[in-house]
Amino acid sequence: MMYIEITQDSIGVIELTNKSVDGFFTGGIQTCLIMVFKSENATILVHDSGQLCITNIIDLLSKYGEINSVTVAYGPHFHAKHNYERLHTILSNINLLGTVSKIESNLITFAFIYHLDGKAKCVKDQYSGLIIPIPDKALRMSCIELNNFFLEPDSQKLKPSLQYCNGAYQSEFGLDYNLDEMLEILKRQPDFFFTNLAFLEKAHDLNLLNLPKQLLEVAQRNKVSRFMFKTMNDVDILQQNLEYKGTFKIV
Protein backbone atom coordinates (compact mmCIF):
# COMPACT_ATOMS: atom_id res chain seq x y z
CA MET A 1 0.00 0.00 0.00
CA MET A 2 1.19 3.51 -0.82
CA TYR A 3 -0.23 6.80 0.45
CA ILE A 4 0.32 10.26 -0.98
CA GLU A 5 1.04 13.19 1.36
CA ILE A 6 -0.98 16.39 1.66
CA THR A 7 0.13 19.34 3.82
CA GLN A 8 -1.81 21.94 5.80
CA ASP A 9 -4.24 24.21 3.95
CA SER A 10 -4.09 21.99 0.90
CA ILE A 11 -6.20 19.54 -1.08
CA GLY A 12 -5.51 16.20 -2.68
CA VAL A 13 -7.67 14.38 -5.21
CA ILE A 14 -7.43 10.69 -6.07
CA GLU A 15 -9.67 9.98 -9.04
CA LEU A 16 -11.47 6.67 -9.40
CA THR A 17 -9.27 5.90 -12.40
CA ASN A 18 -6.06 6.30 -10.37
CA LYS A 19 -4.92 2.80 -9.39
CA SER A 20 -1.35 3.76 -8.47
CA VAL A 21 -1.98 4.82 -4.84
CA ASP A 22 -4.11 3.57 -1.96
CA GLY A 23 -5.01 6.70 -0.05
CA PHE A 24 -3.93 9.84 1.79
CA PHE A 25 -1.55 10.77 4.58
CA THR A 26 -1.47 14.18 6.26
CA GLY A 27 0.49 15.10 9.35
CA GLY A 28 1.33 17.89 11.78
CA ILE A 29 -2.32 18.18 12.80
CA GLN A 30 -3.14 20.16 15.96
CA THR A 31 -6.02 22.63 15.61
CA CYS A 32 -6.95 21.84 12.00
CA LEU A 33 -9.93 19.94 10.65
CA ILE A 34 -9.34 17.12 8.20
CA MET A 35 -12.18 16.42 5.77
CA VAL A 36 -12.42 13.56 3.28
CA PHE A 37 -15.17 13.62 0.66
CA LYS A 38 -15.84 10.39 -1.21
CA SER A 39 -17.72 10.97 -4.45
CA GLU A 40 -18.76 8.80 -7.35
CA ASN A 41 -15.69 9.94 -9.29
CA ALA A 42 -12.96 10.65 -6.75
CA THR A 43 -11.83 10.87 -3.14
CA ILE A 44 -10.88 14.37 -1.99
CA LEU A 45 -8.94 15.25 1.18
CA VAL A 46 -8.91 18.77 2.61
CA HIS A 47 -6.52 19.77 5.43
CA ASP A 48 -8.07 22.99 6.71
CA SER A 49 -6.62 25.39 9.29
CA GLY A 50 -9.90 27.30 9.32
CA GLN A 51 -8.59 29.96 6.92
CA LEU A 52 -9.30 28.24 3.59
CA CYS A 53 -11.84 29.93 1.34
CA ILE A 54 -15.03 27.88 1.65
CA THR A 55 -16.21 28.89 -1.83
CA ASN A 56 -13.03 27.43 -3.34
CA ILE A 57 -13.61 24.14 -1.52
CA ILE A 58 -17.25 23.91 -2.61
CA ASP A 59 -16.39 24.76 -6.22
CA LEU A 60 -13.76 22.03 -6.35
CA LEU A 61 -16.05 19.42 -4.79
CA SER A 62 -18.78 20.23 -7.31
CA LYS A 63 -16.51 19.00 -10.11
CA TYR A 64 -16.59 15.43 -8.83
CA GLY A 65 -20.28 14.67 -8.67
CA GLU A 66 -22.44 13.45 -5.81
CA ILE A 67 -20.75 13.00 -2.43
CA ASN A 68 -21.46 9.55 -1.01
CA SER A 69 -19.75 9.96 2.36
CA VAL A 70 -17.72 12.41 4.43
CA THR A 71 -15.11 11.61 7.08
CA VAL A 72 -13.76 14.29 9.42
CA ALA A 73 -10.89 14.04 11.89
CA TYR A 74 -9.69 16.37 14.64
CA GLY A 75 -7.73 16.48 17.88
CA PRO A 76 -8.12 17.86 21.43
CA HIS A 77 -7.06 21.41 20.41
CA PHE A 78 -9.56 21.52 17.55
CA HIS A 79 -11.40 24.88 17.28
CA ALA A 80 -14.83 23.26 17.44
CA LYS A 81 -17.29 26.15 17.03
CA HIS A 82 -15.39 27.85 14.20
CA ASN A 83 -14.68 24.68 12.25
CA TYR A 84 -18.12 23.11 12.72
CA GLU A 85 -19.73 26.25 11.33
CA ARG A 86 -17.46 26.01 8.30
CA LEU A 87 -18.18 22.28 7.90
CA HIS A 88 -21.93 22.93 8.11
CA THR A 89 -21.65 25.55 5.36
CA ILE A 90 -19.76 23.14 3.11
CA LEU A 91 -22.16 20.25 3.72
CA SER A 92 -25.15 22.51 3.08
CA ASN A 93 -23.78 23.46 -0.34
CA ILE A 94 -22.80 20.08 -1.76
CA ASN A 95 -24.86 17.18 -3.00
CA LEU A 96 -24.35 14.90 0.01
CA LEU A 97 -26.14 11.58 -0.30
CA GLY A 98 -24.49 9.64 2.54
CA THR A 99 -23.45 10.13 6.13
CA VAL A 100 -20.71 12.01 7.99
CA SER A 101 -18.40 10.03 10.26
CA LYS A 102 -16.11 11.61 12.86
CA ILE A 103 -12.75 10.44 14.20
CA GLU A 104 -11.21 12.16 17.24
CA SER A 105 -7.57 11.81 18.24
CA ASN A 106 -6.37 12.21 21.83
CA LEU A 107 -2.88 13.20 20.62
CA ILE A 108 -1.83 16.88 20.75
CA THR A 109 -0.07 16.51 17.39
CA PHE A 110 -1.04 13.65 15.12
CA ALA A 111 -1.29 12.36 11.58
CA PHE A 112 -4.26 10.99 9.65
CA ILE A 113 -4.37 8.11 7.20
CA TYR A 114 -7.28 7.44 4.87
CA HIS A 115 -7.53 4.33 2.72
CA LEU A 116 -9.61 4.49 -0.43
CA ASP A 117 -11.79 1.66 0.88
CA GLY A 118 -13.07 4.10 3.51
CA LYS A 119 -10.97 2.97 6.46
CA ALA A 120 -9.43 5.89 8.35
CA LYS A 121 -7.37 6.36 11.50
CA CYS A 122 -5.41 8.92 13.50
CA VAL A 123 -1.82 7.90 14.24
CA LYS A 124 1.41 9.27 15.69
CA ASP A 125 2.84 12.13 13.66
CA GLN A 126 5.61 10.28 11.85
CA TYR A 127 6.40 8.91 8.42
CA SER A 128 6.36 5.27 7.50
CA GLY A 129 7.74 3.48 4.46
CA LEU A 130 4.24 3.52 2.98
CA ILE A 131 4.20 7.29 2.46
CA ILE A 132 5.22 8.91 -0.82
CA PRO A 133 6.64 12.21 0.55
CA ILE A 134 5.45 15.35 -1.16
CA PRO A 135 8.31 17.01 -3.12
CA ASP A 136 9.58 20.45 -2.08
CA LYS A 137 7.69 20.21 1.22
CA ALA A 138 9.66 22.95 3.01
CA LEU A 139 9.15 25.38 0.13
CA ARG A 140 5.46 24.57 -0.17
CA MET A 141 4.88 24.98 3.57
CA SER A 142 6.73 28.30 3.65
CA CYS A 143 4.51 29.62 0.83
CA ILE A 144 1.36 28.42 2.60
CA GLU A 145 2.47 29.94 5.92
CA LEU A 146 3.18 33.33 4.35
CA ASN A 147 -0.03 33.32 2.32
CA ASN A 148 -1.93 32.54 5.53
CA PHE A 149 -0.17 34.86 7.96
CA PHE A 150 -0.37 37.88 5.68
CA LEU A 151 -4.13 37.62 5.29
CA GLU A 152 -6.36 39.72 7.51
CA PRO A 153 -6.96 37.77 10.75
CA ASP A 154 -9.90 35.35 10.44
CA SER A 155 -10.57 36.44 6.85
CA GLN A 156 -11.05 32.83 5.70
CA LYS A 157 -9.89 33.81 2.21
CA LEU A 158 -6.82 31.59 1.84
CA LYS A 159 -6.71 29.87 -1.54
CA PRO A 160 -6.17 26.13 -1.03
CA SER A 161 -3.14 24.56 -2.67
CA LEU A 162 -4.18 21.67 -4.93
CA GLN A 163 -1.18 19.41 -4.28
CA TYR A 164 -2.18 16.13 -5.91
CA CYS A 165 -4.54 15.26 -8.76
CA ASN A 166 -4.55 13.40 -12.08
CA GLY A 167 -2.22 10.81 -10.60
CA ALA A 168 0.66 13.17 -9.76
CA TYR A 169 1.91 15.78 -7.33
CA GLN A 170 1.31 19.21 -8.81
CA SER A 171 4.37 21.40 -9.37
CA GLU A 172 2.60 24.77 -9.24
CA PHE A 173 2.76 26.63 -5.93
CA GLY A 174 3.90 30.06 -4.87
CA LEU A 175 3.31 33.25 -2.92
CA ASP A 176 0.09 35.22 -3.21
CA TYR A 177 1.89 38.49 -2.41
CA ASN A 178 5.14 40.01 -3.62
CA LEU A 179 7.77 41.18 -1.13
CA ASP A 180 6.73 44.86 -1.22
CA GLU A 181 3.14 43.89 -0.41
CA MET A 182 4.24 41.69 2.49
CA LEU A 183 6.50 44.41 3.90
CA GLU A 184 3.61 46.85 3.77
CA ILE A 185 1.42 44.37 5.68
CA LEU A 186 4.28 43.85 8.13
CA LYS A 187 4.25 47.57 8.84
CA ARG A 188 0.46 47.60 9.31
CA GLN A 189 0.51 44.79 11.90
CA PRO A 190 2.75 45.92 14.80
CA ASP A 191 1.24 43.35 17.18
CA PHE A 192 2.43 40.55 14.88
CA PHE A 193 5.77 42.10 13.92
CA PHE A 194 8.00 39.34 15.31
CA THR A 195 5.72 36.49 14.20
CA ASN A 196 5.34 37.77 10.64
CA LEU A 197 9.07 38.52 10.50
CA ALA A 198 9.79 34.94 11.61
CA PHE A 199 7.99 33.51 8.59
CA LEU A 200 9.67 36.02 6.28
CA GLU A 201 13.06 35.01 7.67
CA LYS A 202 12.23 31.34 7.05
CA ALA A 203 11.28 32.12 3.45
CA HIS A 204 14.51 34.13 3.05
CA ASP A 205 16.56 31.15 4.27
CA LEU A 206 14.79 28.98 1.67
CA ASN A 207 15.57 31.53 -1.08
CA LEU A 208 11.89 32.24 -1.69
CA LEU A 209 12.51 35.95 -1.19
CA ASN A 210 15.32 38.38 -0.35
CA LEU A 211 14.59 40.05 2.98
CA PRO A 212 16.08 43.56 3.39
CA LYS A 213 19.29 43.56 5.44
CA GLN A 214 17.85 45.66 8.27
CA LEU A 215 14.91 43.31 8.79
CA LEU A 216 17.12 40.25 8.57
CA GLU A 217 19.34 41.70 11.30
CA VAL A 218 16.29 42.38 13.50
CA ALA A 219 15.11 38.81 12.97
CA GLN A 220 18.48 37.28 13.80
CA ARG A 221 19.20 39.58 16.75
CA ASN A 222 15.90 38.70 18.42
CA LYS A 223 15.80 35.03 17.35
CA VAL A 224 12.26 35.60 16.08
CA SER A 225 12.03 32.08 14.58
CA ARG A 226 11.00 30.82 18.04
CA PHE A 227 7.78 32.83 17.79
CA MET A 228 6.50 30.57 15.02
CA PHE A 229 5.81 28.09 17.82
CA LYS A 230 6.06 30.07 21.07
CA THR A 231 3.75 32.71 22.56
CA MET A 232 5.45 35.99 23.43
CA ASN A 233 5.65 37.02 27.09
CA ASP A 234 5.57 40.60 28.38
CA VAL A 235 9.32 41.06 27.92
CA ASP A 236 9.11 39.78 24.33
CA ILE A 237 6.21 42.13 23.56
CA LEU A 238 8.14 45.09 24.94
CA GLN A 239 11.15 44.20 22.79
CA GLN A 240 8.90 43.72 19.77
CA ASN A 241 7.46 47.21 20.25
CA LEU A 242 10.93 48.74 20.52
CA GLU A 243 12.20 46.95 17.40
CA TYR A 244 9.06 47.83 15.44
CA LYS A 245 9.39 51.53 16.28
CA GLY A 246 13.10 51.48 15.47
CA THR A 247 12.57 49.68 12.18
CA PHE A 248 9.86 52.01 10.94
CA LYS A 249 11.25 55.12 12.69
CA ILE A 250 8.16 55.69 14.81
CA VAL A 251 8.54 58.04 17.81
Each residue's pLDDT tens digit, 158-174: 999 999 999 999 998 99
pLDDT for the residue 183: 96
pLDDT over threshold 80, residue 218: yes
Q: How far is CA 230 from CA 194, 198, 226, in A?
A: 11, 11, 6
- What global pTM score does this model have? 0.92
Q: How far is CA 246 from CA 110, 214, 235, in A?
A: 40, 10, 17
Distance CA 38, CA 61 (A): 10
Fold of 3-169: 60s Ribosomal Protein L30; Chain: A; (3.30.1330)
Residues with Cβ < 8 Å from 177, sequence gap 6 or more? 146, 147, 150, 185
> pLDDT of 69-113, one tens digit each?
999 999 999 888 889 999 999 999 998 988 999 999 999 999 999
pLDDT for the residue 251: 45
The H or E element containing residue 154 is none
Domain span(s) for CATH 3.30.1330 in the chain: 3-169
